[in-house]
Amino acid sequence: MENVKTKNKVGIKNIAIDFSKRYPAVFIILVLILAFTVVSPHFMTSSNAQTIMAGNAVVMIAAIGETMVLLTGGIDLSVATVISSSAVLAGYVMNVTHSITLGILTAVAVGLVIGCINGLLIGYGKMVPFITTMGTQLVARGIAFVVSQGIAVKGTPKPLVEFGFQSLAGLPVIFLISIVLLLLSAVLITKATWGRYVILAGANKKTGQYTGINVRFVEMSVYVFAGLFAGIAGFISIINLGNGIPGVGDTLLMIILGGVVLGGTSMNGGEGSIIRTLIGITLLAILTNGLNIIGIPFYDQLIVQGILIFVGNGLAIYMSQKSEYAM
């Protein structure tokens, strides 16, 4: 009996260590929920939960694409401004044509075009991802402001605006869209051959080449994927805000990158998951919402978010080392 109890204790300990290694940000989320619930009676309410979910659908969708890029060891600095440019151009098309379908196609096309440019230059042109996507970031931002002349693009079809207020089973529809995309992406990265190639290419490019993987194509494809999801996020921002806002993505890049890294996806490539990104984005969403509720100024929030990203990343490294020693 004692041997059985000992084995059970060891098994539970190993599960706890493995969970803490994979999802260290979960513990921070639990602490934040407890702290904000104690501090404010307005935090733990259904209406506030809906606000958090709807307000972070755009970030979540864009972060899925960014996760794919980071898994290969790359980085895409253009995702946030692609959100802006796709929102503005889709809004402009809908204002002129009154067609929601054309608006969707425009947003997707903008994301795909910029994603293809990034992918071709980085995957086949062997250009540095940081510099390349910084360049397309500026181009995308310029397009957004030139087309909109710096003001919101109005004329969004009324049915689309009304759709943004819809909910299903108490959950905002735009949040449900982000969850569907997240689940599909999680299946793609874990079950599909392409997903395995992404992980292998990020873990070791030379080994990937030796095993017959077309690493250049894989690198190109993740940037196309990120562009596609940034375009979708741009269209979702129109549903959420009612108009195409030229600067809608300007403040989102650090939240997107921070959420992905904070969730536990390595910037060196080869390690991470879509579920980890969900956890990281959820953490920052809860933090931002809670700080707003208790009246912390915006720029003070940036300081707290930055510190939390350091702490979360440090915790992930510590848990990883601890699990290695335990083994």
Higher confidence at residue 192 or residue 250?
192
Residues 225-247 have pLDDT tens digits of 999 999 999 999 999 999 999 99
Residues 38-48 have pLDDT tens digits of 999 999 999 99
pLDDT for residue 7 is more than 60: no
CA pair distance 230, 141, nearest whole angstrom: 13
CA pair distance 73, 62, nearest whole angstrom: 17
Residue 4 banded pLDDT, cuts 50, 70, 90: low
Residue 266 banded pLDDT, cuts 50, 70, 90: confident
> Averaged over 208-219, what is the pLDDT?
83
Angle at 200 between CA 79 and CA 312, to 5 degrees: 55
Query: Residue 327's pLDDT is what?
Result: 43
Regarding beta strands 171-172 and 167-168, do their DSSP bridges make them parallel or antiparallel, or are they unpaired? antiparallel
pLDDT for residue 187 is more than 70: yes
User: 171 pairs with which residues across the strands?
Assistant: 168
> Averaged over 123-143, what is the pLDDT?
96
Tokens of 300: 């003070």
Query: Residue 3's pLDDT is what?
Result: 58
User: CB-based contacts of 73: which residues, under 8 Å, 6+ apart?
Assistant: 201, 202, 205, 267, 268, 269, 270
Residue 23 banded pLDDT, cuts 50, 70, 90: confident
Q: Is the Cα dihedral 221, 269, 186, 239 positive or negative?
A: negative
CB pairs under 8 A, 24+ apart, for 131-138?
133/75, 133/76, 133/77, 133/78, 133/223, 134/77, 134/78, 136/78, 136/82, 137/77, 137/78, 137/80, 137/81, 138/81
pLDDT for residue 21 is more than 90: no
CA pair distance 283, 255, nearest whole angstrom: 11
CA pair distance 108, 102, nearest whole angstrom: 10
CA pair distance 136, 140, nearest whole angstrom: 6
Reply yes or no on domain 52-312 having CATH 1.20.1420: no
> Averaged over 15-26, what is the pLDDT?
70
Tokens of 203: 């873990």
CA nearest neighbour of 141 among 56, 83, 228: 83
Residues 90-120 have pLDDT tens digits of 999 999 999 999 999 999 999 999 999 999 9
